[in-house]
Structure 1
Amino acid sequence: MTIILITSIVIVLLILLLSVKTTSKAYNYKHTIDPIDHTAAKDRQKKDTEQK
């Protein structure tokens, strides 16, 4: 019974450690934004005005 309890605690701690590690890595990820393509924006605006 003691071996099962110890094994269970080790598994729970391992899962907790991995969860904290992956969450921390996700928060540290730097997101980038693609630059705006001005010609595409003008084309989209032109289409919007033509549809009205």
Structure 2
Amino acid sequence: MFTILIISIIIILVVLILAVATTSKAYQYKHTVDPIDNNPHLPEHKQKEKNEGGHV
């Protein structure tokens, strides 16, 4: 019984450490956004905005 408890605690700790490491690495990832100049949808967006009176 004691052996199963120890093995279970070790498995829980390993899973917890891996989850924290994965989450930490995900938050460090640098996301990028395309510049407005390269956005092919921008002229359509401005045209729609003019036609609808400024409501999108």
**What letter corresponds to residue 23 of structure 1 in structure 2?**
T
The higher-RCO structure (CA 8 Å, 6+ apart) is 2
Q: CA RMSD in A?
A: 2.2
TM-score, normalisation: structure 2: 0.67
| Equivalence for 1:27 | 27
Percent of pairs with identical residues? 52
TM-score, normalisation: structure 1: 0.70
Counting only pairs closer than 5 Å after superposition, residues 13-52 of structure 1 correspond to structure 2 as: 13-36=13-36, 37=39, 38-49=42-53
Aligned length in residues: 51
**What letter corresponds to residue 28 of structure 1 in structure 2?**
Q
Gaps of 5+ in 2: none
